[in-house]
Structure 1
């Protein structure tokens, strides 16, 4: 007998502290909160116990676009709906096909909309990332070594990686919040990672850029410990500083955290 799907979505939400959910034998931490009154970040998760799959989703609506909150909501809602429909009719649908369907919906319904998207497809022993824009996707070892980091589709990240500017210079430039690839624009593209090995203690993290306070290197020191201790240590090294919301955040701030 098939086990029921578990999923949830959070739009324009204000969490005061980090939330936790048990998905089978695993736990997932998630959090989303606004910088001001409206939260243009949207997050969601989808757990298919039959296929031992957890899909983590995060979208950051473009702050310069009036429909950014609607776009981020549409992409999370649309992908989860596509995955639910695929579950009823057969194997889980291609995530890329689901993204493209939502992309076309955004273009049909809103003239001025765009959103980043970061997806982690976690299976029993592997993880694969799907990235559009500058919302980071990370695979970390139990001690904090970066095993995979998505490319951030923005002029600042390109300039840093190309060696055109030093990190300190990049952080001072006006282009800091420009994004060159978003769902809803004609020339968007999806960056897909290889299928990456997931070992015991490894951490999967997707977030909006607000979590890292302009930290380009994503270097962490983790205690090689359990879920609670690892999450606490990680958050202490971010703009959030703890599992509680505070008033010193500089942007909408969201993340989903999974530890094997």
Structure 2
């Protein structure tokens, strides 16, 4: 995509962007989804397929399709959690059935009546950030390095350059997959919700992401995140990668 796409919704402005790794000839292994629910809620998702082309691309696409089919089966207004969990479980079974070594990360956020809840498998990340930069909720990266950062044993800068930063310990497409469910977070009027593959979070520090995501018109915020991550990818210590983002802003 050359430019982010913007969709207006009762919950706010929803933006999406996806781009293949600079210089890469294979398809983008990331997939993303914006799903409007029966009662005008939102389910936002980003997946990052692993295993190399074409299996990574296929795995992330299967995850989005299974999530879409499950959420779209909603017949009455109500709790989305069973539908989201079912979609992820279906994706896990479908990818395992391929028996080709495919797998994918998956991060999901549901938003209903300005209340958000996250679901996490792997190291694609999601967060809720307030107007003044306060991180109200952030998913935990399911990796040894991610757990070390969360526990305070490793700093963010060290983690970004650690030799094991690519290792992910929990994936959709694994017999041992588990789904981490986050708490409910009531969104204030100026809060921003952001989901992204590791093409963003492996190249920008959390405070940089928060600063760029919370200030300015929605399209400018997304462009700033993409441009800054792209510049960092081309730097000496950057990590060139596929890049996908979904954002909900006021």
With normalisation by structure 2, the TM-score equals 0.84
Find the counterpart in structure 2 of residue 22 from structure 1. 8
Shift of 1:160: 2.6
Find the counterpart in structure 2 of residue 120 from structure 1. 109
Shift of 1:228: 4.2
Aligned partners of 1:169 and 1:246: how far apart in 2? 19
1:182 pairs, out of 171, 189, 196, with: 171
> Secondary structure of 1:199's match?
coil
1:258 paired with 2:244, answer no
1:210 paired with 2:195, answer no
Alignment of 1:1-260 (within 5 A): 15-24=1-10, 26-35=12-21, 36-37=24-25, 38-48=27-37, 50-64=38-52, 67-87=55-75, 94-215=83-204, 217-219=206-208, 220-221=210-211, 226-228=217-219, 230-231=221-222, 238-240=228-230, 250-260=240-250
Unmatched runs of 5 consecutive residues or more in structure 2? none
Aligned partners of 2:126 and 2:169: how far apart in 1? 17
Shift of 1:234: 5.1
Aligned partners of 1:41 and 1:161: how far apart in 2? 25
Specify whether residues 215 and 158 from structure 1 end up closer, same or farther in structure 2 by C-alpha distance, changes over 3 A only. Answer: farther
Unmatched runs of 5 consecutive residues or more in structure 1? 1-14
Once structures 1 and 2 are overlaid, which stretch shifts more, 92-101 or 216-225?
216-225
| Equivalenced residues, count | 240
Aligned partners of 1:165 and 1:130: how far apart in 2? 24
Specify whether residues 96 and 215 from structure 1 end up closer, same or farther in structure 2 by C-alpha distance, changes over 3 A only. Answer: same
Q: RMSD value over aligned CA atoms?
A: 2.8
Shift of 1:225: 5.1
Once structures 1 and 2 are overlaid, which stretch shifts more, 67-76 or 23-32?
23-32
Shift of 1:42: 0.5
Check the 8 A contact 2:11/2:114 in 1, yes or no. no
